[in-house]
Structure 1
Amino acid sequence: MKRMISAVVVLAMVLFGANAYAHKEAREMKKGILLVAFGTSEASAKVSFQNIEQKVKKAFPGVDVFWAYTSHIIRHKLAKQGEMILSPAQALATMMDDGYTHVAVQSLHTIPGEEYHDLTMTVNGFKTMPNGFDKLILGFPMLGTQDTVAKAVDAVIATLPKARKANEAVVLMGHGTHHPGNVYYAAMNWQLQQKDPNIIMGTVEGYPELGDVIAWLKTKKSGKVWLMPFMSVAGDHAKNDMAGDEEDSWKSQLTKVGFSCETVLKGTAEYDAFADIWVSQLSNVMAHFK
């Protein structure tokens, strides 16, 4: 009998606590936006992030905007230079302590790859914290749905160098990944070539590789190749792996096999056509905060 009474008391306390939590006092809405990028330590490349931030602040006036980098290496490197950039977890913890109730976390990654996957787990972890955010929603990276792949294809076509002739090849350098999200590069490649058969997507760390790109280029009659980064910033990969003078850079390897190369050092987020896709993803999230 005593055990039964004890069980009833415990159950009542649990139900009371759950009921109290469910009916906690409503707080005044305080919106915040957390922009999350892989990051860059290249000062000249930060113009990409500045462009996106300006667009975000214009689209959502009065909403506080914060930043976080997913790359520990870049955060550590910047810290040595006196610039402190928080991780997504650190930034969310700070925003929680500061009383933000509705937070939109917008991924500035290009594809839903490993970095985005990890960010998803971080956001989901904060969603379960007691007395935390009322709403916490993560926005897709630039390529997240078929609709945004199509928009990105249009953005590539719209931002091709004006000096490029129609028969000249364009090679886009994506980062690439071993994560299943790498398939988005293949999707981009297919749809790009439906609009312009002289454009190909290659990657540094995924598929298609540079060897695949070179094999494809050799089937083309044009001896000139335009190299462009398909990354949000024109950072280390673009300046060194793509356009560098070292023997293993894409420019050097293409030159070695007989192609004349022109390089464009401009990240996708510097172009309004691409930046607007990320802002559109964020707009889908902010629509839930009304």
Structure 2
Amino acid sequence: AQAAFSRIERRVKEAFPGVPVRWAYTSAIIRKKLARQGKQLDSTATALAKMMDEGFTHVAVQSLHTIGGEEYHDLVGTVRAFRMMPEGIDHLQVGYPLLGTEEDLMKVTEALLENLPPQRTRQDAVVLMGHGTPHPANAFYTALMYHLQRRDPNLYVATVEGAPGIDEVTDMLRRRGITTAYLIPFMSVAGDHARNDMAGDDEDSWKNVLARAGIDAKVVLKGTAEYDNIVDIWVDHLRTVLRRFEPPAN
């Protein structure tokens, strides 16, 4: 994960030299896990409170979420609360997640096509693992699959906690006579979901679900934040926010 985050920070600093970069982690689970390892991470509220105390007047909060689901809207709520504080940060804005607009769908589609495994043939399927959510923003996953399949019918998106799930996608692969499928995380980091739910040895891992259907699963443990062309989409969202801070042209 740290390598992916370092890549993001490097791309941000290249795009906006001289602009301070701070990190915040929305996941309490991750913060507690790393705290046990001696690494203290700030929540969004803590990071913003520190910046407010330090006298920052313009702060862009760039989401690194994939879609605008529950966690993204919690982030927006935190930022909104800080906007309402007296003598707080004068200008405070949030950047879109990776998939926030129709244009993002097109850009992400192009980036994913460029990042496909070079050894993969057109007869092999690629199944991207999204996190998924009961939030309506889950529709971005099916929209992405639509755009991908317009370019290559053997590209699929399945989710861990939303729709479509791996069972539905496995049925699609079986009907198309697919015998080999690449499993690739569509998450910023190839973390627990990718290593366990996708590539683990449990009988309900995606790798083994495909194996029982007679499909050879080839696993790629590389998150989206490890690809510059994906990171640059987040950076573009940040650029949009920073432009709002510029004084109007005369």
Task: Assess same fold via TM > 0.5.
Answer: yes
Q: Quick one: distance in 2 between partners of 1:193 and 1:246?
A: 30
* 1:263 lines up with 2:228 in the alignment: no
* 1:244 lines up with 2:200 in the alignment: yes
**Number of residues paired by the alignment?**
246
Q: Percent identity?
A: 55
User: Which residue type is aligned with residue 204 of structure 1?
Assistant: V
Which residue number corresponds to residue 30 of structure 1?
none
Shift of 1:118: 0.3
Shift of 1:46: 2.2
> What per-residue deviation string (whole Å, max 9, x for no partner) do you get for residues 90-139 of structure 1?
11001000110000000000000000010010000101111111100100
TM-score by length of 1: 0.84
SS at match of 1:66: coil
Q: Quick one: distance in 2 between partners of 1:285 and 1:80?
A: 35
Which residue number corresponds to residue 88 of structure 1?
44
User: Which residue type is aligned with residue 93 of structure 1?
Assistant: A
Q: Quick one: distance in 1 between partners of 2:110 and 2:214?
A: 30
* 1:105 lines up with 2:61 in the alignment: yes
SS at match of 1:96: helix
Which residue number corresponds to residue 195 of structure 1?
151
User: Which residue type is aligned with residue 138 of structure 1?
Assistant: V
State whether residues 174 and 213 of structure 2, in contact with CA within 8 Å, keep that contact through their aligned partners in structure 1.
no
Residue number among 35, 43, 49 corresponding to 2:5 in the alignment: 49
State whether residues 101 and 133 of structure 1, in contact with CA within 8 Å, keep that contact through their aligned partners in structure 2.
yes
> What per-residue deviation string (whole Å, max 9, x for no partner) do you get for residues 242-264 of structure 1?
11122111001111221111110
TM-score by length of 2: 0.97
5 Å-filtered alignment, 1:132-151, equals 132-151=88-107
> What per-residue deviation string (whole Å, max 9, x for no partner) do you get for residues 133-174 of structure 1?
110010000000100111011111110000000111110000
Shift of 1:221: 2.4
Residue number among 159, 162, 167 corresponding to 2:123 in the alignment: 167
Instruction: Note the aligned Cα RMSD (angstroms).
Output: 0.8
Which residue number corresponds to residue 135 of structure 2?
179
Q: Which runs of 5+ in 2 are unaligned?
A: none
Report which of the two structures shows the higher radius of gyration computed on alpha carbons: 1
